[in-house]
Structure 1
Amino acid sequence: MFRPTKDGGASVWLSAGEASLLRTLVVPVIDLLGGASSGEPASVLDDLESLLDADEPRAPEDPVLARLLPDAYRDDPEAAGEFRKYTESSLREAKKYFAQTMLDTLPRSGGRVKLTGDQARDWLRALNDVRLMFGVRLEVTEDFEEQLAALDREDPKIAAFEVYGWLGAVQESLVRALDRRR
């Protein structure tokens, strides 16, 4: 899959189907985080407005968002809320930026993807978020292989589990490509 490049990045050739699948999977992450990223960081006024509007920030109710934006202090709701008040907005924006980087560098019809080192790291972050989203929706546990083996061969979830596994392979190949450059 991914190969290291001389400039510290990575490259890969994706089929049209693979590129389309990655696009299809990363867009819901952006949507969950609050819409399309402009690529620009939130302004200081936006951050201030969100601080003033937030009475008691709480962990999101959506299980995917709860995984993407976890509490910093699980045993102390007050400290978790205080931490969330100051960090959630920038974390959301960063995650949207990483996902948008993936979208911007994916060729619509497949083909070669050449990533700089920074873009490759953004892809890793975006892939991680896509896998978290997918894993939560599929209720994947640490026993992924056993879960997959236990499914009936006619179960429509099999395709989703295979996509989840493929995402892990893409992520691992990118990590290995970047690691080979060191």
Structure 2
Amino acid sequence: MPGHFEPLPGGGAAVALDDVEISIIRSLAVQLLELIGPGPGADAPDDPLAELFAEGPSEPPSDPVLRRLFPDAYGDPELAPRSPADADQERAHSAEFRRYTENDLRTGKRENALGVIRSLDALAPVDEGGAVLKLSAQESRQWVGALNDLRLAIGARLEITEEEDTDLLFRLPEEDARKPMVLAYLWLGGLQETLVTTLMP
């Protein structure tokens, strides 16, 4: 179980984490929450309808991490549009889609990150340090989403666009300032992969 998730009888998953691993995941989840923001209804908590009917932004975020977490729904950034008219149409469709979906996407990502923080905060430590994290099937799905978002965020900061980028970054010298982020990216990927496996029928 150390370092990877294993399935639990009846659904869910478990993994042994040491104190440093718990601290790293929790810190990253808190940073993700801060990056995503408080949500559209935060300014009007007394009006529950305000958030329900709030429209989201129509322009993509300026932060590269948020652009990775909330990409345009139309058009491939790697491919040039066929014509200026096609580019205008793709922007218009993306803006409309973003306006009506981004708030819900942000809410879901916040809930996933909060689920990670809550489950880590509820851990009972063991004598030799660390703890065994046991997740229900629902909590496992939240963790998969949060781990994916954390990897996307780190990948955006490292400018990872292809698998080859990861291989090159992994071979960075130890004194390179990016090395800890690369190791976290790879470690979270391993956790995510084994957790996804436990959810497969």
Please state which band the TM-score falls in when normalised by the shorter chain: 0.7 to 0.9
In 1, distance between residues paired with 2:192 and 2:50? 36
CA contact (8 A) 2:32 2:150 kept: yes
Considering Cα pairs closer than 8 Å and 6+ residues apart, tell me whether 1 or 2 has the greater RCO: 1
Pick one of 109, 118, 125 that aligns with 1:104: 118
Task: Check if 1:89 corresponds to 2:120.
Answer: no
Residues 6-57 of structure 1 deviation map (CA, whole Å, 9 limit, x = unaligned): 1211011111111100001111111111138xxxxx9442132x32xx6x61
In the TM superposition, structure 1's runs of 4+ consecutive aligned residues that sit over 4 Å from their partners are none
Structure possessing the higher radius of gyration over alpha carbons: 2
State the partner residue of 1:45: 50
The question of whether the paired residues in 2 share the 8 Å contact of 1:19 and 1:108 is answered with: no
Q: Amino acid of the residue matched to residue 99 of structure 2?
A: K
Deviation per CA, 1:118-159, whole angstroms, max 9, x where unpaired?
11011000000000001111112321112322x233212222
Q: Alignment partner of 1:155: what SS? A: coil
Question: If the length of structure 2 is used for normalisation, what is the TM-score?
Answer: 0.78
Native 8 Å contact 1:71 1:80 kept in 2? yes
Q: SS state of the match for residue 10, structure 2?
A: coil
Where does structure 1 lack aligned partners over 5 or more consecutive residues?
A: 37-41
Contact persistence 1:16–1:108 (CA under 8 A)? no
Residues 154-163 or 14-23, more deviating: 154-163
2:32 corresponds to: 29
Partner of 1:39: none
The count of residues paired between Structure 1 and Structure 2 equals 171
Does structure 1 residue 154 correspond to structure 2 residue 159?
no
Secondary structure in 2 matching 1:13:
strand
Would you say 1:62 and 2:63 are equivalent positions? Answer: yes
Unaligned runs of 5+ in 2: 40-46, 76-86
CA-atom RMSD, angstroms? 2.1
Q: Where does 1:136-151 land on structure 2 (aligned, <5 Å)?
A: 136-142=156-162, 143=164, 144-149=166-171, 151=172
